[in-house]
Amino acid sequence: MQSDSNFVFVLFGGTGDLSMRKILPALFEAHRAGMLNPAGRIVCVAREAWDQGAYRRWVEEHVKPHVSKDGLDDAVWRSFLERMQYVGLDLGRAEDFVLLRDTLAQYDGTRVFYLATGPKLFVPICRALSDVGLNQNARIVLEKPLGYDLKSSNAINDAVGEIFQEEQIYRIDHYLGKEPVQNLLALRFSNVLFEPLWRREWVESIQITIAEELGVEARGDFYDNTGALRDMVQNHLLQLLSIVTMEPPHSMDSDSVRDEKLRVLRALKPIDERDISRVAVRGQYHAGVIRGAAVPAYATEPGVRPDSTTETFVALKVEIDNWRWAGVPFFLRTGKRLADRVAEIVVNFRTVPHSALGANALRAGANRLVIRLQPNESIRLYCLAKQPGEGMNLASVHLDLAFDQFFKEGQMEAYQRLLLDVIHGRLALFVRRDEQEAAWRWVEPILNAWASGTSKPKPYAAGTWGPAASSAMLAQHGTCWLEEEN
């Protein structure tokens, strides 16, 4: 459906990896689907002194491989390139921002400034935009990580908040745009079947995993100063946790949804530094084999210090101190160079209190809901059923909602959904400042304890599921990670 919202989308970092792999492919898919106003324009900004032809050749080479080849039409691709204009810009030259302002003056519509840059450039860019009057009738999109800790995050938010109002600021977390996350909200709040079960009386534990096969690739310098806790837990995992556990909002407007997520983040049980070794596991990958190929140890990756103690793996036991979830353990896990690329939420329901059908009906995990976010997005409900034949023998069966099979229309990628939400001015799937502060405040004791140097990351071989201590932590609660059970 074509949008009536006219826009000018200004992409800082317009030659960078994120722009090439995610942002411009998402805008192309929206363009191909007819979801963008025909008058909307995309202005890409970077420091290279290129003309329009050089930039379009760069896009042809680096963006086209990341778009779907199904029905890819040369005329549609050319019409997408015609939306684009390139502006070479030196952040240190005020006159370059005057040139940008004059370029944007040619176009009508809401201005969207997407900062696909490092966080140290957020404030200088925002101030330069303000100096030439480009902070009015505008929206600003900030990529993570937003800061290094609570103090630095607040410093960035304070500075950006002096230039843009909170309702103009879109802090993006692409996991919130994934189809199964949206369907989780629909599943919980539109079906009377699930709501009575979504509480401590019926849920035994919940696991949230974001696992990657890749290492740090070309991001060694960045990652070695960041680590998995800052890169994944403080944002993606805590946001998913808040979506899974929040109370029903009175509506789906932006502040109603974000108010409920904030209540969850504020209800996270604080972690005492003395307990961190019991509820938090950090690891670092060593050399190993993934899908038959040898991969190097983290400490030998380009840009990584040989004596680095940066964690590439984190597993946490989390508790929520509120009426609905008190006493339920939540296990969060993320890591690089793991055995598989998978992101999923696993809701383990309690066993029946008594079974007339034998001990098999009392086994853990008999009833569970598995929400797969990647690579194949789906929702699967497991239950027990009688096997055909003589006797009352039970087997695990599942009911599937496989989106690609049930819905014939193509799925919308996370970045595509979120970019359209920015253009339309919808804030519900973006992180509000008070949410971000609550998340940083909760992780800080872990950051401080690990920074003290009293312990080092536990080693794990690339191609495995992380340190054994991660499994041991769950075993203390009589459970295990999903792949260990299977």
Give, for 423, the enclosing helix (H) or strand (E): helix 414-424
> Does the annotation place 47 within a ligand binding site?
yes
Radius of gyration, alpha carbons of the chain: 24
Tokens 């210090």 correspond to: 305
> Does the annotation place 317 within a ligand binding site?
no
Residue pair 383/397 in contact by the 8 Å Cβ criterion: yes
Calpha distance 412→430 (Å, rounded): 17
Which residue type is seen at 23? I
> Does the annotation place 178 within a ligand binding site?
yes
- Contacts of 158-164 with C-beta under 8 Å, sequence gap 24+, read 159/122, 159/123, 159/126, 159/127, 160/122, 160/123, 160/126, 161/433, 163/126, 163/127, 163/129, 163/130, 163/135, 164/126, 164/135, 164/138, 164/140
Residue pair 280/318 in contact by the 8 Å Cβ criterion: no
- Give the residue ranges of DSSP H helices in 46-139: 52-62, 74-82, 94-104, 122-131
Residue pair 484/315 in contact by the 8 Å Cβ criterion: no
3-state class percentages of the chain: helix first, strand second, coil last, to nearest 5: 40, 20, 40
> Does the annotation place 250 within a ligand binding site?
no
> Does the annotation place 458 within a ligand binding site?
no
- Give the residue ranges of DSSP H helices in 3-51: 17-18, 24-32
> Does the annotation place 62 within a ligand binding site?
no
> Does the annotation place 212 within a ligand binding site?
yes
Residue pair 152/178 in contact by the 8 Å Cβ criterion: no
> Does the annotation place 93 within a ligand binding site?
no
Write phi, then psi, for 303 (nearest 5 degrees): 90, -5
In sequence order, the 6+-apart residues with CB closer than 8 A to the CB of 249 are: 189, 256, 257, 259, 260
> Does the annotation place 22 within a ligand binding site?
no
Which residue type is seen at 455? S
Question: Could you tell me the sign of the dihedral formed by the alpha carbons of 274, 278, 284, 287, in that order?
Answer: positive
**Alpha-carbon separation of residue 44 from 11, 55, 170, 203 (angstroms):** 5, 9, 19, 48
The token pair at 262 is 């904030």
Q: Please give the positions annotated as active site.
A: 236
Report the binding-site residues for substrate.
174, 178, 212, 231, 336
Report the binding-site residues for NADP(+).
47, 90-91, 144
Report the binding-site residues.
47, 90-91, 144, 174, 178, 212, 231, 336
